[in-house]
Chain A
Amino acid sequence: MRGKNNSTIRYFLVRLIELLITLLLVSFMTFAAFSIIPGDAASVILGPDATPAQVENLRQELGLDKPLYVQYFSWLLGAFTGNLGKSAAFGVSVSELIAQRLPVTLGMSVIALIMVVVISYPTALISARRPGRLADQICSVLGHVLFAIPPFVLSLVMILLTSSLFGLVTVGRYTKPSENFFSFVGCLLLPSFCIALPKIAMTFKFLRSTMIEQNASDHVRTAKSHGLSDLMIEFRHVLPNSNVSAITVISLVLSDILGGSLIVEQVFNLPGLGRLLLTGIARRDFPLLSGMILYLALITVLLYFLADILTAIADPRIRIK
């Protein structure tokens, strides 16, 4: 018993150390990428008309004249305390800009994730119960086709359908979450669905094959021969064992969902991180871009970590190994 506990703790510790190293590497790569490219924040803020002396002054003020490793550590330290410097284009602090836009992107990602879980599980269960039957065939074909449609194309089709068939205006409608939370969620439903649909197809496919495997396994046959009801078998034996692969797949689709929401926001004209990113790109606002990349990568890394921990909880074999 004690040995088992030790190995569990060790597993989590190793994962934690790996997480920290990854975070450090991610931050270093972000910083390095923005240091080697020509042009810096000072010249962007001052514009093309600035004299070299002005640029030099501002560089000193922003700390850009210090050696790179000093800059890196002060940037990293700032990132931990939520201070990523000032955006060159907006003149506001980067963290403030991100905080303003985060609700839309995060909201869409969360809603899309919920949709993935809520829709792919039941459909996979139904499909896997009788593979090859009509319900399974319909789900599988739909899954294959939906998997291949880019989210932004799906969004365009959805906009076309809702506007021409139902006369609904879905583009550019947005309510702040602080004003009315439910109408905020309402605005995000259709875009989230467009991001979620291909990922639902992907998760469905993986879940279905795992469940078919489970259904054919010995312990399910034993349970059946003991006279357990089908429903009992599904919930007590098949589902828990499918969770392991489900968590892996879902953690894989997470960063796609996040990236997808950056694009789909653009189609639906929602004020999320995607538009901020494009503004940053258009105005070559490096502090803003590096800050955004760091935060989004941070979120992804933490989600992967969470998925790993969840997998270990769902499957004890991984911990002991």
Chain B
Amino acid sequence: MNRRYIDSRRIFFITGGILLGIVILAFLVSLFWTPYDPNTTNAATRLLPPSAEHLMGTDNFGRDVFSRILSASKYTIFISFSGVAIALVIGTLTGLPAGYFGGISDRVIMLLMNSVMCFPGILLALVAVAVAGPSMFNVVWALGIVFGPTFARVYRSGTLEIKERDYILHARVMGVNPVRIMAAHIFPNLMSQILPATVIGLANMTLFESAMSYLGLGVQPPEASFGKMLSDSQAYMTRAPWLIIFPALMLVFYILGLYFISEGIRVNNSRGGIVR
């Protein structure tokens, strides 16, 4: 019985790591080298199928799909990580005090957060980006705000649980100031809950980001992004299915890899891997 769980945890980490590794490798490579310039168009090489010269073929502008995929993974990773960072900051600043102080401040903060969650997230992000003008940075902060309340909830429920513990009571009796209690005593102990939420957040944010760039409101052309590559190639997809297959695969690899890793962490936690 015990044996099986250990195995399943390992399988999650290994497959997740491999899938995520592929995308991260693409990202690292793209920083230094791409076989062709990802944004240079060339009429002579339109819609070529995959070959030794163009590993993943070329698109309707004659751009090398492999180079574009390398470059797109850069944006996907950048946007998801910085968006989650913003959401984490929002979540920490709202969820922790709400859980710790309780009472009126808790009610008000959570009511605000819940009202933000009432908007279908993608709608909020789309409109925010549309109004502020589509650009990568606007996507990042819009997604950060949309995902903030989710983290606030995780922080709040974790804080509610931890603040009842004896060592917190002890610290309070000793007259430690609340900010220090939250920062030094509660925050580090929330990691086991925040970590899987962060990894899932990265995956969900990528789902949103790709949908937004599919609609043309994400990373702006001529820069490559998975969503935009998919929407651009939709018209050619029966003639040139490689235009759909490769970006779609990379996108799924990234999301699935993150998801598997979070699942691995979850199983690990519930098996007593980390004391809760």
The A112-167 residues at the B interface (CB cut-off 8 A) are 132, 144-145, 147-153, 156-157, 159-160, 163-164
- The answer, yes or no, to whether B230 is at the interface (CB within 8 Å) is yes
Decide yes or no: A281 and B210 within 8 Å by CB, A22-B115, A26-B118, A296-B120 being known contacts.
no
- Closest chain A residue to B132 by CB distance? A37
Residues of A within 8 A of B115 (CB): 22, 25-26, 29
Residues of A within 8 A of B256 (CB): 144-145, 148
Bound: A19/B44 CA distance, A: 61
- The answer, yes or no, to whether B252 is at the interface (CB within 8 Å) is yes
Residues of B within 8 A of A284 (CB): 130-131
Residues of B within 8 A of A33 (CB): 127-128, 131
Q: Mark B113-136, 1 if CB is under 8 A from A, else 0.
A: 011111111111011101110000
Please state if B126 and A156 are interface contacts (CB–CB under 8 Å).
Answer: no
Decide yes or no: A255 and B126 within 8 Å by CB, A156-B234, A159-B237, A160-B238 being known contacts.
no
Please state if A21 and B111 are interface contacts (CB–CB under 8 Å).
Answer: yes
- Closest chain B residue to A24 by CB distance? B115
Please state if A144 and B252 are interface contacts (CB–CB under 8 Å).
Answer: no
Please state if B126 and A160 are interface contacts (CB–CB under 8 Å).
Answer: no
The A268-321 residues at the B interface (CB cut-off 8 A) are 277-278, 281-282, 284, 289, 292-293, 296-297, 300-301, 304
Residues of A within 8 A of B119 (CB): 26, 255, 293, 296-297, 300
Bound: A76/B210 CA distance, A: 34
The interface size bin for chain A is: 35 or more
Most buried by A among B120, B128, B203, B241: B120
Decide yes or no: A150 and B210 within 8 Å by CB, A296-B120, A297-B119 being known contacts.
yes
- Closest chain A residue to B122 by CB distance? A259
Mark A residues whose CB is within 8 Å of B.
Answer: 18, 21-22, 25-26, 29, 33-34, 37, 132, 144-145, 147-153, 156-157, 159-160, 163-164, 255-256, 258-260, 262-263, 266-267, 277-278, 281-282, 284, 289, 292-293, 296-297, 300-301, 304
- A and B contact pairs by CB, cutoff 8 A, 26 listed: A22-B115, A25-B115, A26-B115, A29-B115, A33-B131, A132-B4, A148-B203, A148-B256, A149-B252, A152-B211, A152-B214, A157-B244, A157-B248, A160-B241, A160-B244, A163-B238, A255-B119, A255-B120, A259-B120, A259-B123, A266-B215, A284-B131, A289-B131, A296-B119, A297-B118, A301-B118
